[in-house]
A and B are shown apart, each in its own frame.
Chain A
Amino acid sequence: MEYLSRYWTFMAKYNVLNAFWVNVSLTLAAGALALILGTIAVTMRISPVSSLRLASTFYVNVFRDIPLTVVMVIMASVVWMQLNVSFSNDFHTDFYILAVIGLGIYHSSFIAEALRSGINTVPVGQAEAARGIGLTFLQSTRIVVLPQAFRGSIAPIGNTIIALIKNTTVASVTGVSTETSSTMQAAIEMGPQFIFLIFLTFALGYVIIVIPVGVLSTSLSRRLAVKR
Chain B
Amino acid sequence: MSPKKRPASSVFFDVPGPKTRRITLIANIIGGAIVAAILVVIAMKLQVQGQLEPAMWNVVVQPISWTAYIIPGLISTLTAAAVAIVGALVFGLIFGVARLAHLGVVRWVAGVIVEFCRAVPVLLMMIFLWYWFGSISFIPDPSFWAVVVALILYNGSVIAELVRSGVINLPTGQHEAASAIGLTRIKALQFVLVPQALLSMLPALVAQLVVALKDSALGSAIAYSELLREARLLGTPLNTLQTLFVASVIFIVINYGLGKLGERLARTMRGRGLTLDEKMAEDMPINVPAAGAQAMLEDPDDEPIFDESTRLRQEATGDRRHL
- Chain A residues with a Cβ under 8 A of chain B: 45-53, 55, 61-62, 64-70, 73-74, 77-78, 81-84, 107, 110, 113, 116-121, 123-124, 127-128, 131, 137, 140-141, 145, 152, 155-156, 159-160, 163, 166-167, 169-170, 172-173, 180-181, 184-185, 188-189, 192, 195-196, 198-199, 202-203, 206-207, 210-211, 214, 218, 222, 225
Sample of 15 A–B contacts (CB below 8 Å)? A46-B9, A49-B24, A51-B35, A65-B214, A67-B213, A73-B228, A74-B240, A117-B310, A117-B319, A119-B8, A127-B12, A131-B14, A170-B123, A181-B124, A206-B119
Please, which residues of chain A bring their CB within 8 A of the CB of B22? none
Please, which residues of chain B bring their CB within 8 A of the CB of A211? 115, 119
Bound Cα distance from A167 to B120, whole angstroms: 10
Interface residue B203 (Cβ < 8 Å from any Cβ of A): no
Are A167 and B121 in contact, CB atoms less than 8 angstroms apart? yes
Which listed residue (B216, B235, B304) contacts A156, Cβ 8 A? B304
Are B28 and A50 in contact, CB atoms less than 8 angstroms apart? yes
Please, which residues of chain A bring their CB within 8 A of the CB of B268? none
Are B9 and A207 in contact, CB atoms less than 8 angstroms apart? no
Please, which residues of chain B bring their CB within 8 A of the CB of A167? 121, 323
Which listed residue (A116, A124, A140, A203) contacts B116, Cβ 8 A? A203
CB 8 Å contact bits of B13-27 with A (1 = contact, 0 = none): 110100000001001
Interface residue B6 (Cβ < 8 Å from any Cβ of A): yes
Are B35 and A77 in contact, CB atoms less than 8 angstroms apart? no
Are A120 and B28 in contact, CB atoms less than 8 angstroms apart? no
Are B123 and A169 in contact, CB atoms less than 8 angstroms apart? yes
Are A120 and B121 in contact, CB atoms less than 8 angstroms apart? no
A46 in contact with B228 given A67-B251, A167-B121, A214-B301 (CB within 8 Å):
no
A172 in contact with B132 given A46-B8, A73-B244 (CB within 8 Å):
no
CB 8 Å contact bits of B127-170 with A (1 = contact, 0 = none): 11001100100000000000000000000000000000000000
Across the A-B interface, the 7 shortest Cβ-Cβ residue pairs: A51-B32, A65-B255, A163-B323, A120-B316, A67-B217, A218-B301, A166-B121
Please, which residues of chain A bring their CB within 8 A of the CB of B103? none
Are B135 and A192 in contact, CB atoms less than 8 angstroms apart? yes
Interface residue B218 (Cβ < 8 Å from any Cβ of A): yes
Bound Cα distance from A196 to B131, whole angstroms: 10
Which listed residue (B8, B28, B128) contacts A195, Cβ 8 A? B128
A48 in contact with B240 given A83-B51, A119-B8, A120-B1 (CB within 8 Å):
no
Main secondary structure of the interface of A (DSSP, over half): helix
Which listed residue (B27, B32, B240, B317) contacts A117, Cβ 8 A? B317
Please, which residues of chain B bring their CB within 8 A of the CB of A74? 240, 244, 248
Are A70 and B244 in contact, CB atoms less than 8 angstroms apart? yes
Taking the closest CB of chain B, its distance from the CB of A83, in whole angstroms, is 6
Which listed residue (B3, B119, B220) contacts A210, Cβ 8 A? B119
Taking the closest CB of chain A, its distance from the CB of B262, in whole angstroms, is 12
Bound Cα distance from A156 to B314, whole angstroms: 10
A70 in contact with B247 given A64-B321, A170-B218 (CB within 8 Å):
yes
Are B49 and A51 in contact, CB atoms less than 8 angstroms apart? no
A184 in contact with B51 given A46-B8, A113-B317, A155-B310 (CB within 8 Å):
no
Bound Cα distance from A50 to B46, whole angstroms: 28
Are B51 and A70 in contact, CB atoms less than 8 angstroms apart? no
Are B304 and A207 in contact, CB atoms less than 8 angstroms apart? no
Bound Cα distance from A189 to B300, whole angstroms: 42
Bound Cα distance from A51 to B28, whole angstroms: 6
Taking the closest CB of chain A, its distance from the CB of B254, in whole angstroms, is 8
Bound Cα distance from A203 to B122, whole angstroms: 10
